[in-house]
Amino acid sequence: MRIRFGTEGFRGVIGKEFTFDVIRHLAGAYGLFLQERGETRVVVGHDTRFMAETFGRAFAAHLSGMGLEVFLLKGPVPTPLLSFAVRHLEAGGGVMVTASHNPPEYLGVKFKDSTGGPLAPESYKVLETLLLKKGPFKERPLCTRQNLHRA
């Protein structure tokens, strides 16, 4: 699947470029990215945009289905809180479902590294390569309570 990353992640119009199929592929690539670096924990958050919570839960479920320990933040949060949670929970990275300043019909994901900061440009190139070479990513079994936590 061909997904082009922009500033700090990916954004698109809900139901057009931003779909549950896209979430599955993004989660698959990011999960592999973390696992290849020996990371086992990830934090997922969302803001108040339309469908952000639903897409955030789907992203968390896919990561959990890959065997990662997922901390799903309770309720809508600002992006800086997700960054803090990544560091506080000693996670390997984080995912924020938001579209930032884009119009309301947009939604997207921002990816964070283990410092809570944005992924480096070379990391996005790795994600693009994983999407092309390892995808398409299959549906994962539903997550278990063992590795999905509310934080």
**What amino acid positions are annotated as catalytic residues?**
100
Q: Which two tokens stand for residue 137?
A: 């990513």
75 Rama sector, left if φ>0, alpha if ψ -120 to 50, beta otherwise:
left
Dmax of the chain from CA atoms? 37
3-class SS at 150?
strand
C-alpha 22/C-alpha 3 separation (Å) is 8
Beta bridge mates, 71? 43, 149
Helices (H), the chain: 20-36, 52-65, 79-88, 121-134
Q: In whole angstroms, what is the distance from residue 95 CA to residue 28 CA?
A: 13
3-state secondary structure of 135: coil
